Amino acid sequence: MTEITVTDIGALRSSFAGEILTSDDGRRYDEARAVFNAMFDRRPGAIARASCDGDVVAAILVAQSARMPMAVRAGGHSVAGYSTIDDGLLLDLRPMAKIELDASARTVRVGPGVTWGQLDAATQIHGLATTGGRMTTTGVAGFVLGSGSGWLERLHGWACDNLLSARLVTADGRVVTTSESENPELFWGLRGGGGNFGVVTEFELRVHPIGPMIYGGMLLYPREQAPELCRNLRDFSAELPREIAVGCVFLTAPPAPFVPPELHGRPAFAVFAAWFGDPAEGPDALSALREFRTPAVDLLAPIPYQQLQALTDAGNPPGRRNYWHSDLFSDLADETIDALVERANTATSPASVMIVARSGGAVADVPEDATPLSGRTAPWFYHCYGIWTEGEDAQHIGWVRETAASLRPWTVTGMPLNFFTDVDDDRVRSTFGEKKYQRLVALKDRYDPENFFRRNQNVRPSAG
């Protein structure tokens, strides 16, 4: 592969309807190349902002014929930095942001440039939603293709379980439609196999009656109470109705007006919960969490579903350095909780967080072979997010890696790959498991034998 040239950009301009930006475009180029994770400050040779399927075809064909590397960007939230590139072509899908809701059929067609905040806004007017990201700025596209874990997953499965059909452009520039009945093997691969097989230009998703008001929010405590609160959370979750989403966060208390001043900047522990049944029944459904110990802050209340979806937006802005690792737990034993607390207490940055959440329910209903993803029956998962703006990268990355190593004895494989900054071949293989990995390789051989789409959680074609 070679770097992009003036001739390549000229070739692209002749067949591309959307905007094309280069470093000559100054601030607009800089805005367009910025991604969520500031560790990836890349300078693409050109940014092609696709406006339609034809633009996606044109970008792929020009990049292929010029043998130039290409990255695909939707919401730009890849913590592994897949959605940007130095020197090559960045295909930016953000202008393709249509949303067509069929409220009576409970389906929605979504362009690849749409974020979860935009999609929720369009569907919530009709009291509908599907499992979406826990932050409004995350893109629908990368999220769905990589699994899609959200507040609604215990009730309605992962986002990829709600995918009904997709249209994509393959490495040879063909537009292919895929669903359970049309190109079903490709459809199987798209539900967790990431961006390996082409550029998806439309997702059709199932939506469900949700909200617009739900009951939920957060309870905040001093960190010292974390061991007993974690145990209570585990016991509360043993027999959990699907209408409840629950988890906890080890964080540093923000200097927000709703936080008592004595907690500002101090290690804290938050329990988050949502009840998707009748909001009037919410206080009863969550009382065992609220009444266990008196919280310093009690934000459990009837709230709009969109507010729940935005709960962590303010605490996790773009532009900081991020290094992430996650894993699944088969249970939450006392010794696992003690290890979590110990690791959280050694965090090297006040912005870093550890999250533990309950999965299961509808996620576990989907048969193991129905999608490439495994690990569906694991009831708990954790995220260790190293997030910083100051200090040496090595120190903060080291904390995440040491945390992963010390929690490993209690983990099981299968955590979806969207939650890792480091994804090597071994992780891709072991996450899918050898049998399903080989099924993905067969798809890769068929749709992308030269591995043109490789800035992703890469499935390598047999030819290497």
Interaction site with ligand FAD (CB under 6 A): 36, 71-79, 82-83, 93, 112, 133-135, 138-139, 141-143, 145-150, 194-195, 199-200, 316, 418, 455-456
Helix runs in 345-418, H state only: 362-365, 393-407
3-state secondary structure of 226: helix
Residues 6 or more apart whose Cβ sits within 8 Å of residue 256: none
Residues 350 and 388: their CA atoms lie apart, in Å, by 8
In this complex, which beta carbon is closest to ligand FAD, that of residue 93 or of residue 332?
A: 93
Residue 313 Cβ vs ligand FAD, minimum distance, rounded to whole Å: 9
Contact present, 329 and 379 (Cβ < 8 Å): yes
Residue 253 Cβ vs ligand FAD, minimum distance, rounded to whole Å: 20
Residue 37 Cβ vs ligand FAD, minimum distance, rounded to whole Å: 7
In this complex, which beta carbon is closest to ligand FAD, that of residue 117 or of residue 150?
A: 150
Residue 190 Cβ vs ligand FAD, minimum distance, rounded to whole Å: 9
In this complex, which beta carbon is closest to ligand FAD, that of residue 202 or of residue 445?
A: 202
Residues 95 and 72: their CA atoms lie apart, in Å, by 13
As separate numbers, helices (DSSP H) first and strands (DSSP E) second, the chain gives 16, 20
In this complex, which beta carbon is closest to ligand FAD, that of residue 72 or of residue 270?
A: 72
Q: Which of 272, 297, 289, 291 has its CA nearest to residue 231?
A: 289
In this complex, which beta carbon is closest to ligand FAD, that of residue 191 or of residue 295?
A: 191
Residues 349 and 345: their CA atoms lie apart, in Å, by 11
In this complex, which beta carbon is closest to ligand FAD, that of residue 34 or of residue 213?
A: 34
- Residue that the structure tokens 């966060």 belong to: 249
Contact present, 331 and 379 (Cβ < 8 Å): yes
Residue 401 Cβ vs ligand FAD, minimum distance, rounded to whole Å: 19
Residues 353 and 347: their CA atoms lie apart, in Å, by 8
Residue 301 Cβ vs ligand FAD, minimum distance, rounded to whole Å: 22
Residue 396 Cβ vs ligand FAD, minimum distance, rounded to whole Å: 16
Residue 241 Cβ vs ligand FAD, minimum distance, rounded to whole Å: 21
Residues 6 or more apart whose Cβ sits within 8 Å of residue 179: 164, 165, 166, 187, 204
In this complex, which beta carbon is closest to ligand FAD, that of residue 275 or of residue 419?
A: 419
Q: Rg (Cα) of the chain, in Å, rounded?
A: 22
Residues 131 and 372: their CA atoms lie apart, in Å, by 18
In this complex, which beta carbon is closest to ligand FAD, that of residue 77 or of residue 376?
A: 77
